[in-house]
Amino acid sequence: MWHAGKGLVCDIFFGLRHFPGHHGEGLVLHIHLGGTKVIGWLKKYTTQGLRDAIKNVMLEARFCRLHLDGVRNARRYQGQKQLKLHLGAGPNIKQGFINIDLSNKADLTLNLYEPLPFESGCCAMVYSEHFLEHVEYPDTTRSFLGECFRVLDAGGVISVGVPDSEWPVRAYAGDAEYAEWFQKVREYGYPAWCKTRMECVNYSFRQGREHRFAYDFETLKGALESVGFADVKRRAFNPALDSKLREYSTLYVEAVKP
Ligand SMILES: C[S@@+](CC[C@H](N)C(=O)[O-])C[C@H]1O[C@@H](n2cnc3c(N)ncnc32)[C@H](O)[C@@H]1O
């Protein structure tokens, strides 16, 4: 049962008939989202999988609240044209853009898996850097890119940067031009357990469970074209637009709404 509003409460009912001490009556757990009233026996009588699922529900409830705040706050842009959106901005706040993320540093907190709360054709540019690989592929990616297409005006530009997964693949296959990739990513901050080359490749593709897809140019071009974008081109790193930290092995691609 869900109660909307301040201090969302999720009441989760477990039928714990077979657990000692509960006499077949089951048990209602009150889990206060945002706070942590965790009932002591939870660990004893639940599996890690169930606890992970509960954590996910709590996280999604928080994202839901942030998203609804963002949708409400997006009303201030109603009627405006030539907007520039920075999607999945994280801490990189860009002047002249509406910086959007689930992080509360953003101008708008939105869950980008949901439709964008902007009018069709109101944007001149949509930018994202190291965000698209966090989106489930192909269905959610298609709906996300479809939303980018919808909010752009004719002639508007989408500019996307993702980790270039051709690099680890080529490096692993022994292409001398990419050989330094393993060393570079360890320096960049890959976890200490990434010792073998295959561990590095896996980390690059998955980053725990953060990354949902690994792109090369052909695949990103196809995804953009599938929702209507044209003139899809690889572009060079642009220091005026992109983050210095992302320069190494990022695939930057630009496309236009015809
Ligand atoms: C790897 S960070 C990139 C941040 C920044 N663009 C950069 O290059 O440093 C990915 C960002 O995507 C955001 N993100 C992931 N899933 C999201 C979602 N469903 N809706 C909104 N933001 C999301 C995260 O909060 C995070 O800030």
* Positive/negative CA dihedral, 76, 82, 83, 88: positive
For 44, the domain range is 2-70
- Determine if ligand 1 sits within 6 Å of the CB of residue 92: yes
Q: How far is the CA of 88 from the centre of ligand 1 (A)?
A: 4
Among the listed residues 111, 106, 109, 146, the one whose alpha carbon sits nearest the alpha carbon of residue 126 = 146
Q: Nearest-CA neighbor of 223 among 160, 165, 170?
A: 160
Residues 19 and 138 in one domain: no
3-state secondary structure string, the chain?
A: CEECCCCCEEEEEECCCCCCCCCCCCEEEEEECCCCCCCCCHHHHCCHHHHHHHHHHHHHHHHHHHHHHHHHHHHHHCCCCCEEEEECCCCCCCCCCEEEECCCCCCEECCCCCCCCCCCCCEEEEEEECCHHHCCCCHHHHHHHHHHHHHEEEEEEEEEEEEECHHHHHHHCCCHHHCCHHHHHHHHCCCCCCCCHHHHHHHHHHCCCCCCCCECHHHHHHHHHHCCCEEEEEECCCCCCCCHHHCCCEEEEEEECC
Please report the pLDDT score of residue 37 as a whole number: 63
Q: Whose CA is nearest to atom 26 of ligand 1?
A: 90
Pocket test for ligand 1, best of 87, 92, 93, 101 (most atoms within 8 A of CB): 101
* Cβ of 102 below 6 Å from ligand 1: yes
164 CB near ligand 1 (under 6 Å): no
Same domain, 11 and 122: no
pLDDT at residue 12 greater than cutoff 50: no
| Residue-averaged pLDDT of the chain | 87
* 211-253 pLDDT per residue, tens: 999 999 999 999 999 999 999 999 999 999 999 999 999 999 9
* CA–CA dist 190, 72 (Å, integer): 38
pLDDT in tens, 30-61: 455 444 566 677 878 899 999 899 999 999 99
Cβ–ligand 1 contact at 134 (below 6 Å): yes
136 and 252 belong to one structural domain: yes
Residue 133 lies in a domain: yes
Assess if residue 209 is contained within a domain.
no
Same domain for 191 and 125: no
pTM for the whole thing? 0.86
Instruction: Judge whether 75 lies within some domain.
Output: no
Looking at the structure, tell me whether residues 85 and 147 fall in a common domain. yes
How many CB atoms are closer than 10 A to CB 181? 23
Average pLDDT over residues 13-40: 42
- Number of domains the chain is built from: 3
Atom number in ligand 1 closest to CA 111:
20
CA of 141 to the centre of ligand 1 (A): 14
CA dihedral over 229, 161, 211, 60, signed as positive or negative: negative
Q: Which atom of ligand 1 is nearest to the CA of 88?
A: 12
Q: Which numbered atom of ligand 1 lies nearest the CA of 89? A: 6
Q: Please check whether residues 42 and 92 belong to one and the same domain.
A: no
Average pLDDT over residues 94-110: 96
Cis peptide before 138 (omega within 30 of 0): yes
- pLDDT band for position 127 (cuts 50, 70, 90): very high
**Which domain CATH number covers 104?**
3.40.50.150
The length of the chain in residues reads 258
